[in-house]
A and B are shown apart, each in its own frame.
Chain A
Amino acid sequence: MKKIYLDYAATSPTDPQVVKAMLPFFSQKYGNPSEPHWAGIEAKKALNEARRTVASFLNTKVEEIIFTSGATEAINLAHKGLIENYLKNTLFQKQKPEIITCLTEHKAVLEACSHLEKAEMAKINYLPVDKNGLLSLEDLQKAITDQTVLINIMYVNNEVGTIQPIREISKLIKEINLKRKKQKLPLIVFHVDATQAIQYLNCQVDYLGADLLSFSGHKIYGPKGVGGLYVRSGVKIVRQMDGGGQEGLLRSGTENVSGIVGLAKALDLINPKEGQKIKKLSQKLIKEVLMIPQVSLTGHLTKRAPHIASFLVKGVEGESLVLLLSDKGIAASTVSACNSEVLLPSHVLIAMGVSKKFIQGSLRFSLGKQTTEKEIQETVKILPSIINHLRNLAPKLTLD
């Protein structure tokens, strides 16, 4: 049976060129970059070069890039590190600093925020979204108070692909910060989770107006276990990992040199034309899947990342669907109550107002570099019969 991988938003295969770039850093150039001898120098050189590549990709200064173990760590460092720093400010001794984020953010953000809230270190304000997963600038503006110190918004939603208006948000924040500067109030810092965006959308920090930006290697054909955080000069964060003081004192631990080299290579290999090809394929997939009765698209119709085709299949439960697809060689994903440890349906779809009756039927295909038109044809050929089988198995329900 042919295997069809359509779960690139979960993770991607490491590009052979990335693997090739990484290989020397296991057994040949194995030095610790903190050591001044020849072995250390070799590794340090590679580390510096990788940092330059990442900095040039995001159009930042080299010292503004901190390598981490992935986007989750970067997000935790950004949120906890920033709040911890603000708590030193006497202004916040009476009133807690506030974070504004959105209900549809990744769990890494939501859990980091919940941690800060439980520790009574910050107050969190969660913005709602509309049925397409878009937040409103008006809601954001209303949520901002004098205590707001961090606004966090993800660029591309990982479940439904909706693209948030990052530039408009940063414009609004800039206007507010101009006033704050005059009033000598602490400035609002803007964190962007770019994990699902970096492969396809312009993530240069000044284009976006981001002060902090998190990203990961394994979503972009790099290795797992490596990612990064951009920290704009002047933005102070408190390190969360104590130790030898690596990464400009902000993230201790001997650097994952091979992983960092791989991450840089992966960014280097990003070809903006790839997105066009993938968009064409996902549009074909979306068009064909929507021909199946009682299936709808989730996320925004046009403001969506090219690689994510996400649906709600009425009268079907996602885990069953994904198992039967996998039996036919197709790897796809679902967020239903039934496949989560906590037995809760997708927080993203709840926030988008999807009815309880259908929320179990979420299905996400995510496309990548190696996706072919033939694979899409094969998928749309197989999918209807699986949906029919599961619907036949189910009690007859009204599907409105």
Chain B
Amino acid sequence: MDNFSNLYSKQVLDHFRNPRNMGEMKDPDATATVGGAVCGDIMRLFIKVGEKQGKKYIQDVKFQTLGCVAAIATSSIITTMIKSKTLDEAEKITQQTVEVSLGGLPPAKRHCALLAAQGVKKALDNYFEKKK
């Protein structure tokens, strides 16, 4: 039996072991840092916004997370869910869509998906704020 497979889905373990889009971004268009009040996890998100066919989209995204297996996995998957998406599409991502994409999370870890979704919202807010 795979390590921790009693706790987590294959998708969670894969994203934890092979995090996508991890690291820092040199000159991001927007950033967000969110922290889980529950357990002390911290997620930082960097986005670069591009434009194609008159629509703004997430050209690049990077994350850095200090946290448990679920926190790292939700951070990783949400970057893949918003990359290349228009800002409108990215804004629609919720805790539920993150959970579904990961094949579910243990009840005690659902707040990690919320944290990731909040990270994206905050990064987009930060982007719009800067553009004002």
- A, B bound: yes
Contacts of A320 in B (CB 8 A): 16, 67-69, 72
Which residue, of B17, B40, B72, has the highest number of chain A Cβ atoms within 10 A? B40
Taking the closest CB of chain B, its distance from the CB of A44, in whole angstroms, is 41
Partner of B65, one of A319, A343, A395: A395
Binding site for A on B (CB under 8 A): 3-4, 16-17, 19, 22-24, 33, 38-44, 64-72, 108-109
Task: Using A323-B4, A326-B3, A343-B108 as known contacts, say yes or no to A397 and B40 having CB atoms under 8 A apart.
Answer: no
Q: Is the CB of B108 within 8 A of A316?
A: no
Contacts of B71 in A (CB 8 A): 317, 338
Contacts of A359 in B (CB 8 A): 40
Q: Indicate if A119 sits at the interface (CB-CB under 8 A).
A: no
Binding site for B on A (CB under 8 A): 315-320, 323, 326-327, 336-343, 345, 356-357, 359-360, 390, 392-397
Partner of A393, one of B4, B33, B72: B72
Q: Is the CB of B42 within 8 A of A338?
A: no
Q: Is the CB of B68 within 8 A of A395?
A: no
Taking the closest CB of chain A, its distance from the CB of B123, in whole angstroms, is 14
Contacts of B67 in A (CB 8 A): 317, 320, 338, 360
List 9 extra interface pairs beyond A345-B39, A360-B68, CB under 8 A.
Answer: A316-B66, A317-B67, A323-B69, A338-B69, A356-B40, A393-B64, A393-B65, A395-B43, A395-B65
Task: Using A338-B39, A356-B40 as known contacts, say yes or no to A395 and B66 having CB atoms under 8 A apart.
Answer: yes
Task: Using A338-B39, A338-B41 as known contacts, say yes or no to A394 and B3 having CB atoms under 8 A apart.
Answer: no
Which residue, of B16, B65, B68, has the highest number of chain A Cβ atoms within 10 A? B68
Nearest-CB residue, chain B, relative to A339: B68
By Cβ-Cβ distance, the 4 closest A-B pairs, closest first, are A338-B68, A394-B66, A337-B39, A395-B44
Name 13 A/B residue pairs within 8 A (Cβ), A-sorted.
A317-B66, A320-B69, A327-B3, A337-B38, A338-B39, A338-B109, A343-B108, A345-B39, A356-B40, A357-B40, A360-B68, A394-B66, A397-B66
Cα A341 to Cα B108 in complex, Å, equals: 6
Nearest-CB residue, chain A, relative to B39: A337
Cα A308 to Cα B69 in complex, Å, equals: 25
Contacts of A343 in B (CB 8 A): 38-39, 108
Cα A336 to Cα B108 in complex, Å, equals: 13
Contacts of A316 in B (CB 8 A): 66
Contacts of A317 in B (CB 8 A): 41, 66-68, 71
Partner of A327, one of B17, B40, B64, B109: B17
Cα A317 to Cα B42 in complex, Å, equals: 11
Cα A9 to Cα B27 in complex, Å, equals: 48
